[in-house]
């Protein structure tokens, strides 16, 4: 039985007539230069996926030993590039030494405005020294190493050093508590933890060393905690503690990489926890490297002279793939910023773009919405003319925010790439290609060639264009996760339990008449109102389109009559009064844009919305608040518990 069709009206209203062709400069010089070329590649990949991916793998990275088989697929288990041997640290560093040893690889800026540049030559040396240091602690191929560091160059050095010796890294975002760190280190069975005395955040020092030592006391596998002096000098006082400086001193400046099999595990990364308990997503070397390298070039058009700034923290997959590995594999320059976006003032980001002459900028909708809320006067104070391409990731982007981003930050000249992907996918999956794809605000557009994205109903049948359904990927791709660390059953059930052999993303989506994908939010967030399936993302976009609303989160609450009633949590732009009639006006506005079916039954004004530490709205908590339930799920990844308390307080 297929679900009734949800309204498709919203996209035609919110994006009406707003199709942006690829700028001519990109159609001339980007990797893929027309929709026809894209179509040809997509067809080629569909007809002979092994040939297609084999060619990509040979093109993107250096193989010490060639692979003989492209793919062995025994659902849900995939093995890519069998018998191939490579090393990711070699592909990021050594490969460039003969051509760009003196080129800057990392441009670092600390929150207190201290700056440091590392050339490819220097980065290579630091990586080799730390790799040697780790070996001296007994870390070898297959061992797990925790990384709990601020966004400083040593964080990238740490990841690359692990990759160099075949150890798996597991990066934990430095904003997480000792408890969250401990839980992840235990799950990963980490042997060594790399941390710092502290890191700067909003003018304060985050007590990383204290948290790390606390975790080390609770995790029996953790033998050593290596502490970097970021905010001061390190004087080890704990029996497990070693200073970073002493560990690397005297280590050789060059160390042969460990050539690992393509399927050798590269890292474990815990997902951000928007929907439940974080999962330890495991990625392996060859396939991950290929897709990350390729997408950085194809999607961001990254050239070696480019200065690329991805604002994500290395604690998230976006930081892994597009702060560290993607730009370095392509020989670019990556910007690393340690601190908060609004410190010391609301224009810190634009100041960085101006001073570092950033060419390609990649951030999240949550950041764009908060900049929008503050008004264009902040970016307008800066020269942003170095920018040539803008990207977004993490949540569906409201068309209103997309347009603002393009006009105000991109000066109307930069293409915007709305990239859909997940921790599990390793690399970008659905995205415009800047030289080929006409964009529509709010749509992630088309899957990359070789990515067989499909919208299906619960029974695995394709849903007609314009109708909402579940987003699947019908064929394996090189950078897919290989398992949930230590829990292969959860892997099989969560990702391949819906349809045999097809990867289930957990997201809802619809394809429009052009085949473009519109992400509707997580399947759990799709609500059923009087028999109609509604993506919360579209109701939220309609609210944001009012102009007075800064952010909106819409959830369902059980309702006797309608089955589900819609509750909207709304934050307002600076200076807008939360008056009673505004509620009615907003409800009316949604009705006008989507239809009466989407009219919120209740609108609540809030100061802030509960978010994960990666900046995503946690709708599952709002569902509890809306229905007056106690929160039962995992809240360790929530950024600020106070926000939840404030929302509950409003209920009385």
Footprint of ligand ATP on this chain (CB under 6 A)? 271-275, 278, 316-317, 393-396, 418-423, 444, 505-507, 519, 522, 614, 616
Instruction: Report the relative pairing of strands 483-484 and 280-284 from DSSP bridges.
Output: antiparallel
Rounded Cα distance, 187 and 271, in Å: 13
Per-position DSSP letters for 175-228, written without gaps between them: TS-HHHHHHHHHHHT-SEEEEES-EEETTEEE-HHHHHHHHHHH-TT--EEEEE
Output the smallest distance, CB 93 to ligand ATP, in A.
27
Instruction: Report the relative pairing of strands 563-572 and 602-605 from DSSP bridges.
Output: parallel
Q: Is 578 exposed, middle or buried (0-12, 13-18, 19+ CB in 10 A)?
A: middle
Closer residue to ligand ATP, CB minimum distance, 308 or 420? 420
Q: What angle do CA 95, 316, 130 make, to 5 degrees?
A: 45
Identify the CA nearest to 271 among candidates 616, 520, 519: 616
Rounded Cα distance, 552 and 604, in Å: 10
- Neighbour count for residue 632 (Cβ, 10 Å): 8
Structure tokens at 394: 């993490």
Closer residue to ligand ATP, CB minimum distance, 87 or 614? 614
Closer residue to ligand ATP, CB minimum distance, 320 or 348? 320
Closer residue to ligand ATP, CB minimum distance, 293 or 614? 614
Closer residue to ligand ATP, CB minimum distance, 316 or 477? 316
Closer residue to ligand ATP, CB minimum distance, 212 or 480? 480
Output the smallest distance, CB 483 to ligand ATP, in A.
15
Closer residue to ligand ATP, CB minimum distance, 107 or 613? 613
Closer residue to ligand ATP, CB minimum distance, 53 or 495? 495
Closer residue to ligand ATP, CB minimum distance, 200 or 504? 504
Rounded Cα distance, 179 and 176, in Å: 8
Output the smallest distance, CB 60 to ligand ATP, in A.
23
Output the smallest distance, CB 615 to ligand ATP, in A.
10
Identify the CA nearest to 608 among candidates 641, 636, 577: 641
Peptide bond into 530 cis (omega under 30): no
Output the smallest distance, CB 608 to ligand ATP, in A.
18
Cβ pair 598, 542 in contact under 8 A: yes
Output the smallest distance, CB 392 to ligand ATP, in A.
6
Output the smallest distance, CB 570 to ligand ATP, in A.
20
Closer residue to ligand ATP, CB minimum distance, 177 or 385? 177
Q: Where are the alpha helices (DSSP H) in 375-514?
A: 377-380, 399-404, 488-496
Cβ pair 292, 326 in contact under 8 A: yes
Query: First vs last Cα of the chain: how many Å apart?
Result: 41
Cβ pair 41, 449 in contact under 8 A: yes
Closer residue to ligand ATP, CB minimum distance, 354 or 418? 418
Rounded Cα distance, 70 and 74, in Å: 13
Q: What Å distances lie between residue 235 and 129, 206, 213, 239, 244, CA to CA?
A: 21, 18, 13, 12, 11
Output the smallest distance, CB 72 to ligand ATP, in A.
26
Per-position DSSP letters for 565-584, written without gaps between them: EEEEEEEE-TT----HHHHH
Output the smallest distance, CB 242 to ligand ATP, in A.
32
Output the smallest distance, CB 70 to ligand ATP, in A.
26
Output the smallest distance, CB 486 to ligand ATP, in A.
16
């Amino acid at each position: 039985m297929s679900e009734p069709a949800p309204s498709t009206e919203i996209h035609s209203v919110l994006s009406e007539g707003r199709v942006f062709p690829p700028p001519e400069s990109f159609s001339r010089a980007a990797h893929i230069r027309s929709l026809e070329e894209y179509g040809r590649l997509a067809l080629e990949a569909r007809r002979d996926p092994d040939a297609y991916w084999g060619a990509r793998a040979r093109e993107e990275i250096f193989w010490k030993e060639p692979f003989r088989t492209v793919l062995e697929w025994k659902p849900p288990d995939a093995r890519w590039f069998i018998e191939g041997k490579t090393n990711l640290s070699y592909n990021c560093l050594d490969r460039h030494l003969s051509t760009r040893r003196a080129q800057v690889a990392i441009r670092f800026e600390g929150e207190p405005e201290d700056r440091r540049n590392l050339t490819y030559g220097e980065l290579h040396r630091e990586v080799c020294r730390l790799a040697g240091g780790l070996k001296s602690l007994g870390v070898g191929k297959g061992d797990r190493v925790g990384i709990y560091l601020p966004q400083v160059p040593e964080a990238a050095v740490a990841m690359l050093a692990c990759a160099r010796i075949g150890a798996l890294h597991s990066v934990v975002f430095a904003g997480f508590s000792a408890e969250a760190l401990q839980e992840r280190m235990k799950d990963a069975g980490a042997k060594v933890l790399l941390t710092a005395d502290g890191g700067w955040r909003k003018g304060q020092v985050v007590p990383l060393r204290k948290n790390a030592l606390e975790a080390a006391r609770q995790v029996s596998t953790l033998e050593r905690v290596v502490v970097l002096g970021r905010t001061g000098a390190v004087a080890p006082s704990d029996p497990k503690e070693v200073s970073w400086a002493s560990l690397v001193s005297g280590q050789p400046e060059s160390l042969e990489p460990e050539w690992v099999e393509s399927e050798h595990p590269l890292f474990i990364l815990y997902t951000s926890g928007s929907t439940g308990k974080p999962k330890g997503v495991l990625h392996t070397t060859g396939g991950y490297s290929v897709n990350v390298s390729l997408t950085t070039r194809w999607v961001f058009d990254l050239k070696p002279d480019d200065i690329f700034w991805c604002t994500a923290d290395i604690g998230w997959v976006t930081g892994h793939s597009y702060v560290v590995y993607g730009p370095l594999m392509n020989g670019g320059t990556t910007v690393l910023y340690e601190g908060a976006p609004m410190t010391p003032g609301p224009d810190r980001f634009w100041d960085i773009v101006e001073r570092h002459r950033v060419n390609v900028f990649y951030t999240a909708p949550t950041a764009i919405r908060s900049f929008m809320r503050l008004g264009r006067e902040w970016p307008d104070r800066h020269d942003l003319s170095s920018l040539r391409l803008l990207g977004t990731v993490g949540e569906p982007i409201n068309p209103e925010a997309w347009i603002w981003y393009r006009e105000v930050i991109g000066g109307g000249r930069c293409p915007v790439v709305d990239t859909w992907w997940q921790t599990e996918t390793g690399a970008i999956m659905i995205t415009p290609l800047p030289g080929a794809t006409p964009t529509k605000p709010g749509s992630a557009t088309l899957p990359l060639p070789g990515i067989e994205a499909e919208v299906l109903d619960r029974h695995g049948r394709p849903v007609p264009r314009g109708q909402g359904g579940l987003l699947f990927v019908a064929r394996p791709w090189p950078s897919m996760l290989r398992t949930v660390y230590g829990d292969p059953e959860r892997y099989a059930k969560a990702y391949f339990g819906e349809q045999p052999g097809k990867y289930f993303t957990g997201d809802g989506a619809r394809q429009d008449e052009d085949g473009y994908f519109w992400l509707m939010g997580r399947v759990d967030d799709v609500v059923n109102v009087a028999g109609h399936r509604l993506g919360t993302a579209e109701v939220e976009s309609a609210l944001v389109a009012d102009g007075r609303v800064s952010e909106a989160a819409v959830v369902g609450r059980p309702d006797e009559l309608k089955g589900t009633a819609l509750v909207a949590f709304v934050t307002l732009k600076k200076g807008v009064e939360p008056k009673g009639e505004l509620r009615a006006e907003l409800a009316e506005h949604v009705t006008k844009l989507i239809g009466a079916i989407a009219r919120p039954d209740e609108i609540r004004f809030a100061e802030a919305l509960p978010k994960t530490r990666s900046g995503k709205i946690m709708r599952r908590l709002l569902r509890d608040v809306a229905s007056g339930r106690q929160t039962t799920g995992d809240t360790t990844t929530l950024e600020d518990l106070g926000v939840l308390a404030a929302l509950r307080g409003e209920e009385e």
